[in-house]
Amino acid sequence: MRPSLLDPLFAAAATLPGIGPKNAKLFDRLLDRPQGARVVDVLFHLPHATLDRRTRPKIRDAVPDTIVTIHAKVTEHRAPQSQRARAPFKVLVEDDTGDVELVFFLANPEWVRARLPIGATRWISGRLELYDGVRQIVHPDKVMDDEEIARLPPVEPVYALTEGLYQRTVARAAEGALKRLPRLPEWIAAETIEKLNFPAFAGALASMHRPAAPEDVDPAGPAATRLAYDELLSNQLALLLMRARMRETAGRAHEAEGVLGRRLETALPFALTGAQAKALEEIRADLRSEKRMIRLLQGDVGSGKTVVALLAMADVVEAGRQAAMMAPTEVLARQHFERMTSLAAEAGLRMALMTGRDKTSERRETLSALAAGALDIVVGTHALFQDAVVFADLGLAVVDEQHRFGVRQRLALAGKGAATDLLVMTATPIPRSLVLAYFGDMDVSALREKPPGRQPIDTRAMPIERIGEIVAALSRALGHGARAYWICPLVEESETLDVAAAEDRAEALRLIFGDAVGLVHGRMAGPDKDAAMERFQSGETRILVSTTVVEVGVDVPEATIMIVEHAERFGLAQLHQLRGRVGRGAGRSSCLLLYKGPLGDTAKARIETLRETEDGFRIAEEDLRLRGEGDVLGARQAGAPGFRFARLDVHAGLLARARRDAEAAIARSPRLAADDDQNLRLLLYLFERDEAAKLVEAG
């Protein structure tokens, strides 16, 4: 059980000052805690920047893409001209050197007029941008009069927000959360503290939430580094403990001659590639042996992992056991199921789908069939590891696109059977150096070779100003039956703005292409999302405008065109994933990266790399290198997937040390029972590696 010392941190966030019943929901959303945010979530929501109000340039001297505080007079209000709800309200302000447009989307015009009356002089803080040569501040962070600015601290933390929340509300809650932090013992080895010059845990959090200078929130600074280390250490401990536990129970040998596998292979419209055959052989060797399999199947998008998994599952079924495949989203689970089900039927495999949206009666039927052994394979979402799901005899758990799940779920699924073998599949080609961070030391099989017949994807970059030509080319391609994705990017700090951008783009394209245009985004309800995907899959719509929700795994072989708007805002690996959505069928595919210039060196290097290669592993290495060179990502991309603090671009160097410290601790006291090591249990609970902590509590 979690030590009571930590209880104050796991109380509801709604008990913090400034969080009432109404904005509690907003905090839940911001902190990605649909079940209710806790104090610890607020505490761990670190500022990604500061507002340094000591920078108060004249407008002429203000540097674009930095946060500035200007002192300017309001000269004009420009209400939206069209009736379109999403056109922004603009306010023109100026000083004696130049002018700036303040841009408000979805704002209440009355509020804007009252805050910024014509003729008044105000202090305005926010990120200055150049948009078509016009200086703009979109949604200023602060609009203040002389009195208000005098009361503010010179340096303030800047937090990622969600629509409807304000900096001051989050800052106030964070301040409250800091006060709830109990006095905690040190869990990092003294030698590491000294060597890396770490501040204490509490001190690190305090200096980030109450920065005295912009450097205090730097991800490479001492405070952020300490917290990243805490997280990596807890992660490595958890991975090591899990591994020890999984290896404790010897595996079972699955005796199969490969009869079902051969039937499946005959039914396949293609032959396995050499890489697939090799991976399958490695997996089969594990399945046949007494050793418990813990294996990672790594392969770029489209490299054909699913078939390999299906063939592995067939062996386990032939040995008289069951197999489960878990996907991170409803759409993907459904897609896997639909793709495998007819093939499986040919080999006589009984397969069912289980997601969070099944009808109760269907669910009940599936559950009892699973428990009775009347089903061989179940495909599903996280619905699969609920307590109600009981297998007659689960022999193999396959987890697709794993880094969305994390260790906890992986173990939960594998724990549903006696010595269940585990196969984790990832489509993110993670560089070798990072496999350890995500997966611990698993055995690795990699599919580096693509199925034959794929043509290279013609990748080009173009400035967004040439959108007219692009639309004309798209129109010609659609005339020849093509299908296209059109991706709209993340807008930093606001999901609503993302969605607005995608909706606007869809609306603009509909003026030209009418009903051929579909739209899918993260705010849509699950069934609507599926329906939009299905319309695109079936060809009812020919252009799918989307935010990055299509990034993971969705397979529409007929789609041959990928257009990415504001490509300069995406990371290299992400662009590669997006591009991987096309080039899956036999048709010639192209990828158009639309950018808004001028491009920085890193953005140029990214685009150049993409044009040069389609090798996901190479791209991943390059991505890491480019990010390592100080390219600052947007707030929402800050943490590596599955991590809150650790950014593997910045903190990868800490990993080996965290690993060593974790190994040393476990070698000293396998159940973390020694005095010093008990502090590590606390760490596990603090970072919610509860399952791992429980493994050591028994002893």
The secondary structure element, H or E, covering residue 206 is: helix 201-209
How far apart (Å, rounded) are the C-alpha atoms in residues 253 and 256? 9
The answer to whether 336 touches 379, Cβ cutoff 8 Å, is yes
| Binding status of residue 451 toward ligand ADP by CB under 6 A | yes
Q: Is 553 in the site for Mg ion (CB under 5 A)?
A: yes
Q: Does 299 bind ligand ADP (CB under 6 A)?
A: yes
CB of 383 to Mg ion, least distance (A): 19
Q: Which residue has the tokens 């070798």?
A: 432
Using DSSP's 3-state secondary structure scheme, residue 524 falls into: coil
Q: Would you tell me how many other CB atoms lie within 10 Å of the CB of residue 566?
A: 17
Closest among 40, 34, 31 to 11, alpha carbons compared? 40
Shortest Cβ distance from residue 377 to ligand ADP (Å)? 16
Total of chain residues touching ligand ADP, rule CB under 6 A: 17
Binding mask 420-439 for ligand ADP (x = CB under 6 A): -------x------------
In whole angstroms, how close is the CB of 270 to ligand ADP at the nearest point?
3
Looking at the Cβ atoms of 306 and 494, the one nearer to Mg ion is 306
Question: Minimum distance between the CB of residue 262 and ligand ADP, rounded to whole angstroms?
Answer: 16
Q: Per rule CB under 6 A, is residue 584 in the interface with ligand ADP?
A: yes
Query: For residue 657, what are its two tokens?
Result: 């040390």
Q: Which does 272 bind (CB under 5 to 8 A by kind): ligand ADP, Mg ion, none?
A: ligand ADP
DSSP 463-500: EGGGHHHHHHHHHHHHHTT-EEEEE--PPTT-HHHHHH
Residue 409 is a binding residue for ligand ADP (CB under 6 A): no
Question: Are the CB atoms for 366 and 374 separated by under 8 Å?
Answer: no
- Specify the residue, 521 or 584, whose C-beta has the smaller distance to ligand ADP: 584
- Taking CB under 6 A as the binding criterion, the range among 43-51, 254-262, 305-313, 470-478 that sits at the site for ligand ADP is 305-313
The dihedral built from the CA positions of residue 177, 178, 179 and 185, taken in this order, carries a sign that is: positive
CB of 92 to ligand ADP, least distance (A): 50
Q: Could you tell which of Mg ion, ligand ADP, none binds residue 270, using a CB distance below 5 to 8 A set by kind? A: ligand ADP
Which tokens sit at 233? 């250490």
Residue 169 interacts, among Mg ion, ligand ADP, none and using kind-specific CB cut-offs from 5 to 8 Å, with none
In the bound state with ligand ADP, the residue whose beta carbon lies nearer, of 398 and 592, is: 398
The answer to whether 512 touches 471, Cβ cutoff 8 Å, is: yes
- Say how many Å lie between the first and final Cα of the chain, rounded: 13
Q: Please choose which of ligand ADP, Mg ion, none residue 302 contacts, taking the beta carbon within 5 to 8 angstroms, the exact cut-off set by kind.
A: ligand ADP
Stretch that binds ligand ADP, among 79-87, 294-302, 523-531, 536-544 (CB under 6 A): 294-302
Q: Which residues contact 34 (CB under 8 A, 6 or more apart)?
A: 28
Residue nearest to ligand ADP (CB): 304
Alpha carbons 367 and 380: distance in angstroms, whole number: 12
Looking up tokens 């130049």 gives 98
CA distances from 342 to 255, 292, 310, 339, 352 (A): 25, 30, 12, 7, 12
Residue 381 interacts with ligand ADP (CB under 6 A): yes or no: no
Question: Residues 254 to 273: which contact ligand ADP by CB under 6 A?
Answer: 270, 272-273
SS3 346: helix
Under the criterion CB under 5 A, does residue 140 sit at the interface with Mg ion?
no
Sorted by sequence, the CB contacts under 8 Å of residue 483 that are 6+ apart come out as: 536, 539, 542, 543, 544, 556, 558, 559, 560, 561
Residue closer to ligand ADP by CB (options 332, 375) is: 332
Contact 40, 11 (CB under 8 A): no
The yes or no reply on residue 307 touching ligand ADP (CB under 6 A) is yes
Residue placing its CB nearer to ligand ADP in the complex, 215 or 558: 558
If the CB atoms of residues 176 and 328 are measured against Mg ion, the closer one turns out to be 328
Q: Is residue 304 a contact point for ligand ADP (CB under 6 A)? A: yes
Which listed option, ligand ADP, Mg ion, none, makes contact with residue 47 (CB within 5 to 8 Å by class)?
Answer: none
302 binds ligand ADP (CB under 6 A): yes
Map the footprint of Mg ion across residues 10-49, applying CB under 5 A.
none
Cα–Cα distance for residue pair 522/527, rounded to 1 Å = 12
In the complex, least distance from residue 613 CB atom to ligand ADP, rounded to whole angstroms: 18
The residue with tokens 């995500």 is 438
Smallest gap from residue 376 Cβ to ligand ADP (A): 20
- Examine residue 443 and tell whether it contacts ligand ADP (CB under 6 A): no
Residues 6+ apart with CB under 8 A from 541: 515, 516, 517, 518, 532, 535
The stretch near Mg ion (CB under 5 A) out of 197-205, 403-411, 552-560, 630-638 is: 552-560
Binding mask 537-576 for ligand ADP (x = CB under 6 A): ------------------x-x-------------------
Q: Which residues of 273-297 are buried (b: 16+ CB within 10 A; e: fewer)?
A: bebbebbbebbbebbeeebbbbbbb
Range 466-491 burial, b when 16+ CB lie within 10 A, else e: eeeebeeebeebbeeebbbbbbbbbb
Residue count, binding to Mg ion (CB under 5 A): 1
Alpha-carbon gap, residue 52 to 63, rounded angstroms: 14
Q: Whose Cβ is closer to ligand ADP: residue 320's or residue 557's? A: 557
Strands 49-52 and 559-564 come out as unpaired
Token pair of 520 as six digits: 């899918």
Task: Pick the piece of the chain touching Mg ion (CB under 5 A) from 68-76, 384-392, 550-558, 641-649.
Answer: 550-558
Q: By CB under 5 A, tell whether 583 contacts Mg ion.
A: no
Of 432, 405, 399, whose CA–CA distance to 616 is shortest?
A: 432
To ligand ADP, the closest distance from the beta carbon of 330 in angstroms equals 17
Measured from the CB atom, the residue of 277 and 473 that comes closer to ligand ADP is 277
Residues that bind ligand ADP (CB under 6 A): 270, 272-273, 276, 299, 301-307, 427, 451, 555, 557, 584
Residues that bind Mg ion (CB under 5 A): 553
